[in-house]
Each structure stands twice: as structure tokens, then as C-alpha cells.
Structure 1
Amino acid sequence: MSLQPFKSIAIGAAFSPNLKANLYEAARLSLFFGSKLFLIHVGEASDDKIKTLKVFLNPFKKDNLDFEVVFKPGDPVEAILSVTDEKNIDLLILGAVQRERFIKYYVGSIARKITRKAKCSVLLLIKPSVERVACQHIVVNGLQDPKTEQTIKAAFYLGKQLEADKITIVEEIKQEQVAIKVDDDKSLRRANIMKERIKLRENSRIKEIIEHIPEKYTKDIAIKSQPIFGKQGYSIGHYAQISRADLLVMNAPSKMTFWDRLFPHDIEHILTELPTDVLILQ
């Protein structure tokens, strides 16, 4: 496992009310990970804009924050994606939008398009803060997938760098795996026995992944394995919400087709209603 998965971090720097909070979050993460920070502004360069950004980041000067401002005129989605390619960005930070009349967060249309197309990892922030709010509980997907082992390893790296107290690995199990029609006590018992066997199998798989992670990333953190039967994407999002997780870490989806967007699943459920800050790992 790389000791520095995010060598370069970028953030979309739009001059919005959340700009200061977003920049503070990005600067802190850059320092935590020892990364260079790129501020991407979609628009023409100007001395006033550069001055404003430098003033916001002035408190991090004493920590030797390494940052660069990049101006890119054009379509916001294409501009930001092209800079992430040109600068070999490992992690792109995007602010999500609050729906005014509801206590819910959702990804704006620009951020959603970028998230779907980005070749790098994406962190979606729903509640950026100027003052640091400690990341105490990280939830990470443990579904059976070739990308999952690396995703879990990255979650433990994050937990170590952010000094989190707890990591919960959620294994989403499709209901179809318990293919028993329950219509009496006997079939109910059979279904429950099958569920327990699946849970044991999943917990064993996750335990093996954790055993391959260096001890320095696992020794000072509470680890929980949580199998859940339900719809992938929706179940883990709901769990992250009710357990008040500070960060949800997910595998990036495979290339999505028209049908994936027509019938939402996995990551699309998360993008529709963000339960907390979400990191989608490539």
C-alpha cells in the first residue's frame, strides 16, 4: 500500500459563500497527506482573484503549504476535468450543495457530471468548515469487488492520517442471495440460517483483507464489520447516515452506461442524496 496515495490534491475554487471553508478543508487535507494543492478556477486570470485566494490561504503559510492557482476558461465540467488530467491530480475536492428547504444534501449538476467522468478520486464535501471538525467515524464499503481491498486499505490510511476513532466496513449483501420464499416458521428458520452463513463468510473475507494491512494503520482504531442485506449503494448510504459517520469511502463505479443512470444503483444512490462527506476512490 502506498504511504501517500494522494500526492496531488485539487479543489474547484468558485467564488461562492463556501469558498473560505472549502479552501481551509483542502489546505488541511494537503498538509495531512503531504500533498501539493491546486486551486482550479474556471474563468480568466486576474490579480484580484489571485490576491483573494492567497489571503484565504495565508494562515497555512507557516505550515509551508505548497499550492498553485490554475485558471481555465470554458465549460466548468470540461475545464476542471482537463486540469485534473494535465496536473496528474490524485484527489479532486468538490463542494456539494444544500437543498434549501430540506435537511438534505445533494450533488449539484456540475459536480455530479465531474464525479461520473473523473479519472481521479473525488471527495464530495457537504459541510465544509473553517474550524477543523475531527473525523471520528469512517464507513467504507466492503462489497465483493476487485477494487474493494485497495479501498479498505485507503480507508485505514485515511483513518491514521485524520486520527479517526473508528472504521466500519459495510458489506452490502443482495437480498437475492437468500433465495428462499418465507411462508412459515420452517422456511423462516432456513432463511435465517442462510443469512448467518453469508454473514460469517463475508466477515471472514473482510478479516483476511484487514490482516494484510500494516499494523500501524490498524492498532489504534476500533474496527467493526457490518453485513447488511439490501440494495447496494442505498443501504450503505443509509447506514452512514444513521451511524453519523463523518466520511463514507466508496469504490469508484465501473464505466456507467445510459441504463445505469436510468435505473440508479450503487454510487448513483449516494450521488442523489449524500449522507455525509463522500470519498469515491479510483
Structure 2
Amino acid sequence: MPSTANYVHGYQPSVLRSHTWRSAANSAAYLLPYITPAMNILDVGCGPGTITMDLANLVPEGSAIGLECESAQEVIQQAASVAQEKSIRNVEFTTGDAHKLPFEDNTFDITHAHQVLQHVKNPVLVLREMARVTKPNGYVAVRSTDFRGFAWWPETEGMDAWRELYLKVMRKNDGIPDSGRRLHLWAREAGLPRGDRMRKSVGTWCFATEEEVAWWSSLWAERLLESRFRESALKDGLVTETELQAASRAWKEWGASEDAWFLAWHGELVCHV
């Protein structure tokens, strides 16, 4: 994904805090009913590999491969080290371009991507590539969030301003921040099966307890100032340092409310190819 994707957040610790929290249970539950023990799975855009390793554990007679962009070499190496520490022998990690997957046709039983299509320049081509490397009668599975659909309480002008800032930066960097509602359209354009061979669903992350709210708010407050997002936001005069600081404060203030509640929803799609 080097020249054809632009991951606006980067891979700094403020970003990986949320990525390493992700698991098959909280981020790929929609896919789990389709998995059987002998499957071979490709996880496109695997990040630190927590979901990939969970998938590998679900296919003890098969294998899982996590793929990331060339710029994420350090993250991939860390994922491989964690897998070795956990004695997960049927997983490996590699790099490559999601628009031109480095695998032969009909290689995998499941090809999966979590929160990837919102960051690539051509999501339809990525879906075609995922279908190409998937075996006949296998599954292409994607999940992608929708920032325009996020909801929270209390509603504040500061949080509204954060969302507008985020949407602006994402779009300037060729991202698609409302990708969750578009998955089925992209799948149709990619030529994937429709009707009863295409299952559409919605998954959620809800942050409601005091601990969850504190984690989620501090994560975003930090990410705005201490990740690649800051650099992306400031280049070309998209936003000012003052606006970034204000958005970070808005997250902290939201998280300090005893009534704080946050809903992030994700479009989910499983195509039986």
C-alpha cells in the first residue's frame, strides 16, 4: 500500500494503543461464524497483528497471514515477535500493496480487511484483488467505520469541530471517512456476488463505562497532537495548531463528563465468492 494508500494516523504509540486493543471478538465478530479450523486466511492491513493472531488461533489446522504497507516494517516485526512469544506457529507477517496483492489467484479461504478501505485510494480495486486471491466458494470480508455517523453525549461544539477537522484532513489525504455506508456499493462495482451471497451488517464499539471513556478520550486527545495526523493536518494549511489544540481539549473535556458516552459504528460485509 505504499503509493496507493495514505494512512493518515501513522504508527506512533498514540495510534497503536487502539490498534492493539482490537481483537477478533470486538472487531471481527461478524466473520467468526464462517471460519473453520483448516482455513487459510489473509488479513489485509493487519497493523500490529492482534486480529490476525486471533484468526490464526481459530484455524489450528490452517494458517493466517498479516499484510501491511512497506512503511510499517517496524510494526510488522513487532507483530511477529509477539506471535513468537505467544507460540502462535501458524501465523506470519509480510508487507505489500493492497492494490496489487503479492499472492497467486485462489490462495485463501478468507480474505479480510479491517478499517482499511477508508484509507486506500481505490477501494474497488482492493476488493477486486481480495476476491482474486480468494478461493472459489471462499469469503471476502471487510469492516470499515463511518466517522460521519459517530454519536456521543454530551454533545459539544468542540466535539463537532473535531469531527469537521477530521473529515477535512481525511479527505485531503484521499481518505473516505464515511466508508462504512459504502461497502456494498464498492463490492458491487468490484463485481462481487450480490443477493444471498452478500451479507451486510453493522457492528459497533460503545464506550460507556468510566474506564472505557477515559481510555477513548485520552487516546484521541493524544492522537491529535502526537501522531502523523498532526503533520497531515498542518500541511497545506488545512488546520492551525490552535485548532488542533482545541480539538484535543474538547476530547479531554468530553471524557471528564460523568455522562460521557460514545458510539462508533462500522459497516460490515461478507461476500461468498
TM-score (norm 1): 0.31
Larger radius of gyration: 1
TM-score (norm 2): 0.32
Q: Larger relative CO (CA 8 A, sep 6+): 1 or 2?
A: 2
